[in-house]
Structure 1
């Protein structure tokens, strides 16, 4: 049943008197019930205005429809078809000036919490799926990517899906660039970034 509330579900977060004593992630993520309720706010628009603002053209209404049905793994597969870093993007993409800015629900009230739903789906997948991503068949070509920041990792993921043998060259100790060295732990945990990098490695990407 559609949820016509003008307000998006608030993001659960640490109490200020708790988070001022630790460096753990402040935002806690949607519960399953909150995700289902928020997904029901999506109108599944025919013209998909939200996709206009997504740099990687995630099929937003389609993945949200799967969330609304409770098929979170199907939702993850839809997102991962075009996004190499869903758990990262669900946390730090500026959705308010991208996909959510074009959301029709935002014309009279809050837009659908697209980023919050993306984060929920990615976190659900990481918590419940133990199978490594399947390595695509090689097309016989090799590619070098210089730098393992968000752009480099995204490029590596897109190329790996097409069968290229990708090597990412990184000067620093950890892959991730600004995701690791520029964004604080309470905003984006390093373990989340590493999980995404491990997924790329499972697809055949080499970090050198």
Structure 2
């Protein structure tokens, strides 16, 4: 191999490594003040999954994915419903979203509600969902589960609070072509319009929450 080719390859590798390092530093710096995060906080971002656009159009919100933040030792994780339901390192979760943008929300009275005992109960409820398959048809059952459904059920069963208003699938805007295509893909000609659903947008807009961090 010619020296010029070797030099070019080395320079390209150096540039890519530098970009990756800077991105990693940038993500880490977002959470350099982890004291602002608390167990039970909710985090939202715009997913880059194939269904994200349909969710955004149907719910009139740019936020299409969400999860619950929990701390283990000195690290933070997002408990989320993907495939399968699992704990994802916080920095990895943020990096997976569009442009690394996110919003963190918290119960207005979190200090009073989210006691150590309640947080233990939340984790226990969550353990019942851990490892379950992602629910791509958004059914209101515990057999499979999707992101906002996970949040709603963990909070409701551990605290009695309903984070976001339950709705019917028919109440969303299903007119966009991207939405129609995804619905056809998931349901064929039998769309369950009366299915109970909870969207990321409904959780995000809950009056029980306040925004504590965003970028």
User: Is TM-score (shorter-chain normalized) higher than 0.5?
Assistant: no
Richer in strand (by share): 2
With the length of structure 1 as denominator, give the TM-score of the two structures: 0.26
How high is the TM-score relative to the length of structure 2?
Answer: 0.26
